[in-house]
Structure 1
Amino acid sequence: MAIYIQLHSKIYGLLYCKLPFEVLSNIAEFLSLKDKIACTYVCKLWKDPFQVASWSYLKIYNSSSIYAITKPKTNEMTTYQINGKYAKGLYLYRTIRINSDCLQRIQQELPNIRNLTIGFVCLRKCNYGILSNWRNWKFLDTLIVEMDDFLANPPSGFFDIFSFLPSLKKLELVEVTPKVLELKVEDFDALQVHAPLLENIHLYGVLTTLIHKDIKNIAKTVPANNVTEFELNCLNNDQRWIYFFARKYPNLRKFILGTEEISSLPVVSCEKAVSLFASDLYAFSCLEELSVRMSGSSDDSHISFWKMFSSCNIPVKRLTYSPRFYQGTSDNISGRAIEASVKFFSNTIEELYISYFGAYKNIKDVTSALSCCTRLVKLNISTFRISIKLDKLLNGCKALKNIMLGEVDIDISSSAFNTRIPHDVSTISFVRSTITADTFNYLSPRCMKLQIMCVSESVISGSISEESGKLAIDLSSTNLKYFHLNGSEIKASNNLSDEPISINIINIHRPISRHSLGLESDINKEAKTGPIYTSNEKSMENIDASWVHIYRLFDGSGHWNSAKRVLGKKESKRARKYYSNFQIRNKAETDNEYLRSWRGQVLKKKWRKDLCRGYAEIRLGYIEKYDIDKEVWCQYERDLYRTFL
């Protein structure tokens, strides 16, 4: 961006210089330090805002940089004395050792720090703020402490340091070594006492075992009403702690929990947790975002966790669930866990993210559990391997707009084509999944608002016609802005074999429009815009039918990779002629005459060996752009994969 600005500054200098200081400062937040410095040379009016932005966040990695800040004052002011007032964020590498006097000088030179990242060893050397005047940092609202070189138990008075930070609103304790911080009920009470303004807490450690006295006093705990976000990563979890957090933080809106093992807990603790929640109908009454990353060795350990919430009215709108199971667990374990996670929030969920990458054999259909989420707008599932009937899912989730399914077996029910209920889905992405061709044929006339469809590293399966050799993938009723097909296989059974075989000839059939194919082709040029065709208007003058071949390519390092190209005019003519009389030609020819790769592909020059296997016709409606290329993910898929876990 900075290069662009410098090249055009002479022409557009007057226009750019009129931008207010605040606008330029906000722009600078998105630039690298190198680009910020470059922008200071564009014009005089740019110098100050970009110079200020260059000092917004400082990173100190060694003692020499510390000395540059704290060296004795002379008649000539140092750059830190001149610009230190602009610094809002400070990162001190966790191995840096500084004493109280040194820290006090840093506080004087950088008085407006709002965000501080510091190692615990620094805090220990500074006597936890007793000698240094931490009140100099009156604007400091975010403190991140890297807990390296930490003892299993926090030293006496450790949490007192937060009393010296009058504006602290966010606290994050990050574990960077195998040593574990033990957290007790008293520690959460101490946080509340010493930092009453805290709104966001992020802790890493191990929760100590709750004793009878702790359980008895949970209902009497003094609530920390300001806390709205709480993240905890712990090595174990007594489920009764969850109820403690519900009582301690009644206004919690976002709760992120990561735990390694819960199955080792006695059954009585799980039952007690359920009874505690049953006695308090208002637990987590403000919770809107819940994220759980949970490990366990049994199905019941996960289901009992979700059972805790069965008696509460929790208004969760955004749910993330990432179960982990150890080796040796039973099949279908994640399917039951997923059903349990959704069951108690089905009336409120608007966004659902589920990821699980364990291995189990039997396929579990979770469509019924998901289809009861009537308010669901965004669904992101990446799990190996469950089954989903897409028609039932869409019929149940009428508000669904955005779908990403990864590592999933996708099909439709036998009665799917009996009705033509419209759906409001605008974006669909299939990644590393198996999809039947009928799924696309079902979606085409029923998802008229569909704008984006991405199919990556997946397997599309269906039957080819014995007469025409065609496997139909019909999206002709859609009006897409973008279609992405990448790294996917199309498989079918022809009249010569009952085993699924790779279909390596694809015919992209669409009305002429502006598009990008992104393949090895000399004919890949922008076409003229044409009208949408109907079943009665199939004039070949308005139809683009590009023939694509998927072949094996040797990359020079001993590996055979897949590649794609658009067939030339003569080759395309030969393909059309072959399939015009496929039944007779197919009987006279077999595909066993040439060595294929493990994915069933031949070399580029042997493309005719693939004709007898049949071809897949992807029939698109009017479309602005489509890509069939080597890119793993398009930008739409990157956006769909984002979660807050």
Structure 2
Amino acid sequence: MPASELPYEILSLVADYLYKDYKFECIFVCKGWKTTFQELFWKDREVRSVKKLEDAAVAVKHSTSDFPYGVVLQTLTIVEACTLHSLLQSDAFETFYNLKHLVLEHVIIDSTDIKKITYSRPWKSLISLKLVIKIAKQNSLTPILIRLLTNYPSLKEIDVSPHSSMNSLNFNLKNFNTLHKRSPQLESIKGCFNLTNIHSNSVNTIPTTIAALHVTTLDLDLLDWDYLWLYYFSYKYPNIRTLKWKTMCESRERIVKEYNRNKAELLHSLKNVFPHLTTLEFYTEDRSTWSHALFWDLLCRSNVPIKKLTYILRVCFSSPNFQQMLIQRLLQSFEKTLETFFVAGNVSYDIRYIVRLNIPSCPVLVDLTLYDCGIYIDLDNLLDSCPALRRLMFTSGQLYISPEIREDPGKHGLRILGLDNVDASAPVFSYMSYRCRNLEYMNLDSIRISGSISEETGSLLINMPYTRLKKLDFHRVLFYPSNDHMNEKKVINLILLSQLKSSFPSDENEDHVDEIHDVDHLAWFHLFCKKITIGFESKIRKLPKEEIATATEYYKSTPATERVNLSEERKSFQGLVPKRFWEKDLWKGYVELRCGHIASYKMPLLWVDEDDY
């Protein structure tokens, strides 16, 4: 099919990947593209100011073209600062009467605007509105905002935030109730608010609040809040499917005391909390356990059907023991429904203080990410408890295998593995290769791998014969001859990537897989230090053929007892020597990472030196 005859649906997909200027140029390619790209170009527009929008409206009015600009333009972004007054008084919106999505990246509001809103025309086509607001006068915004939304009876999505953290949007119960009364079609609420204290006299009225049944998404950045707001939201938004709750404040002593005194009576009275909630994102900068306990009391006991859970702790008091308890509590609470679980802690990794994470049965968990939690994971416990797991990302911890011998561990379908700042032994990777035969993507970043060096070959073998990688990312990985000697003086700086020449091992010969020697050497690498303006930096380079021959001959002909330390401490940086002294690293041995197949690999620190080739 000629390009000029491509259908609208295909051209629309192509346009999604083009900058606006390129879309404009496509209008003039051929007649077959003109109408389609003209529509796609005008469908989503960005202008600098209200004045530029008005200029565009004038041009459209005087155009001799029969192209329906007013119908086509559906998404508009105004970048520069504008006043609410200039926006409401502009005639440009009469020209672009079918606008559905409006983004104002810097709108200035003051108390006099409420009168102008009263006399402005309703805007029935708009379904989503994003406002980044600068408040000209304090404490004047919320009633103006509520009144403004009255002009958009078809509004389904709002996104409101202050232009500066110095400004705040104060919301109370009345504001939320009025908002839904005037915008009954709202489905999504996103904003950065101060949620004011709920008076004790209002608590008894919360169970009788009129539910906003259309709302399915609530995304809040909270500068201040009272625990009663979750109690209120559970009644106000019974059909919530996505809840994003970001707290950027410390717990106030009064609120914590009230919560501890009243939580049993209030929270236990809730019989059905967010029964349709499937996605939860929780972020806290609270140094106490209060905000965590609140979510546990409200959600963990309520059998909420959460499928996707994100839990982020920042500037937090938490210890590895707290992180471990938190993760286990969440996994146990949502084990029957949880499919994606992301936890980002704030624990500095110290192997002396890490604690074991005992993972409960999570039969439908597909994606697991654990960042900076200071824990160690038993690989068998993980794979047995999460049979559906396909992606594992793990940082700042230890991955190990139990010394207990299992007769027939089941095969597992893990496909993607990412490790960062993790300690593991070579047998962990060999065992993973045996159990996870569908592993296709492996990202190793700043990890430390230990193992035994063969006296015969001089190599620390990381044997993954069942693994056929589509991509291997390899960055700042350090190798040590044993777990007891993880110091920079013992680091092994020569690395060999290899893959099997023979066919993929079968179950029948898996007992002899370590004896397979028919391998293809993909590349040899050397970790070295490079002098920079201040000090040194680590790099990795490919060995040229001559140096490969030297290394190969050394390990073939030099007995282990004659491999002696030739390095000079004064020329070493974190266990690395300069590139020209690479032979001084031979005595330490080398690492061979051997897979069934490696389709591609990437080493970000790879040093390219034309003199080597």
Scaled to the shorter chain, the TM-score interval is 0.7 to 0.9
Say if 2:114 and 2:147, in contact at 8 Å, map to a contact too.
Answer: no
TM-score by length of 1: 0.84
Provide the rounded CA distance (Å) in 1 between the counterparts of 2:349 and 2:539.
32
Say if 1:350 and 1:378, in contact at 8 Å, map to a contact too.
Answer: yes
Say if 1:97 and 1:125, in contact at 8 Å, map to a contact too.
Answer: no
Say if 1:56 and 1:89, in contact at 8 Å, map to a contact too.
Answer: yes
Change (3 A) 1:195 1:494: closer
Shift of 1:275: 3.9
Identity %: 26
Change (3 A) 1:193 1:597: farther
Number of aligned positions between the proteins? 594
The answer for the alignment partner of 1:317 in structure 2 is 307
Match of 2:523, as an amino acid? S
TM-score by length of 2: 0.88
Change (3 A) 1:492 1:453: same
Shift of 1:206: 1.0
The answer for the alignment partner of 1:29 in structure 2 is 16
Match for 2:526 among 542, 549, 557? 549
The answer for the alignment partner of 2:599 in structure 1 is 624
Shift of 1:455: 0.9
Provide the rounded CA distance (Å) in 1 between the counterparts of 2:418 and 2:174.
47
List runs of 5+ in structure 2 lacking aligned partners: 608-613
Provide the rounded CA distance (Å) in 1 between the counterparts of 2:474 and 2:288.
38
Shift of 1:84: 4.4
Q: CA deviation digits over 1:604-637, x for unaligned, max 9?
A: 22111111112111111133333334389xxxxx
Say if 1:378 and 1:401, in contact at 8 Å, map to a contact too.
Answer: yes
The answer for the alignment partner of 1:53 in structure 2 is 40
Say if 2:443 and 2:474, in contact at 8 Å, map to a contact too.
Answer: yes
The answer for the alignment partner of 2:403 in structure 1 is 414
Say if 1:353 and 1:380, in contact at 8 Å, map to a contact too.
Answer: yes
Match of 1:57, as an amino acid? D
Shift of 1:288: 0.3
Q: CA deviation digits over 1:304-363, x for unaligned, max 9?
A: 432332431200010000012346x66644333333333322222110011123447563
Instruction: Summarize the alignment of residues 108-187 of structure 1 with structure 2, pairs less than 5 Å apart.
Output: 108-118=94-104, 119-121=106-108, 125=113, 127=115, 129-135=117-123, 138-149=124-135, 151-152=138-139, 154-156=141-143, 158-177=145-164, 178-187=166-175
**1:357 equivalent in alignment to 2:346:** yes
Provide the rounded CA distance (Å) in 1 between the counterparts of 2:229 and 2:152.
28
Shift of 1:538: 7.3
Match for 2:549 among 573, 584, 593? 573
Match for 1:245 among 230, 233, 243? 233
SS at match of 1:409: strand
Instruction: Summarize the alignment of residues 201-240 of structure 1 with structure 2, pairs less than 5 Å apart.
Output: 201-240=189-228
SS at match of 2:377: strand
Match of 2:4, as an amino acid? C
Instruction: Summarize the alignment of residues 208-357 of structure 1 with structure 2, pairs less than 5 Å apart.
Output: 208-261=196-249, 263-264=251-252, 265-270=255-260, 272-299=262-289, 301-326=291-316, 332-357=321-346
Shift of 1:300: 5.2
Instruction: Summarize the alignment of residues 510-549 of structure 1 with structure 2, pairs less than 5 Å apart.
Output: 510-512=499-501, 531-532=503-504, 535=512, 543-544=520-521, 546-549=523-526
Q: CA deviation digits over 1:155-184, x for unaligned, max 9?
A: 545313222212210011112212111111
The answer for the alignment partner of 1:636 in structure 2 is none
Change (3 A) 1:66 1:631: farther
The answer for the alignment partner of 1:6 in structure 2 is none
Say if 1:291 and 1:320, in contact at 8 Å, map to a contact too.
Answer: yes
Deviates more, 1:82-91 or 1:43-52: 82-91
The answer for the alignment partner of 2:611 in structure 1 is none
SS at match of 1:235: strand
SS at match of 2:374: strand
Shift of 1:125: 4.3
The answer for the alignment partner of 2:610 in structure 1 is none
Match for 1:77 among 58, 63, 88? 63
Provide the rounded CA distance (Å) in 2 between the counterparts of 1:608 and 1:281.
71
Change (3 A) 1:53 1:126: farther
Say if 1:591 and 1:613, in contact at 8 Å, map to a contact too.
Answer: no
Q: CA deviation digits over 1:11-67, x for unaligned, max 9?
A: xxx611111234323431331111112212221111221122122222232354144
SS at match of 1:261: coil
CA-atom RMSD in angstroms: 3.1
Q: CA deviation digits over 1:492-534, x for unaligned, max 9?
A: 349999877211111222124xxxxxxxxxxxxxxxxx64466
Say if 1:392 and 1:413, in contact at 8 Å, map to a contact too.
Answer: no
Match for 1:95 among 72, 76, 81? 81
Deviates more, 1:117-126 or 1:560-569: 117-126
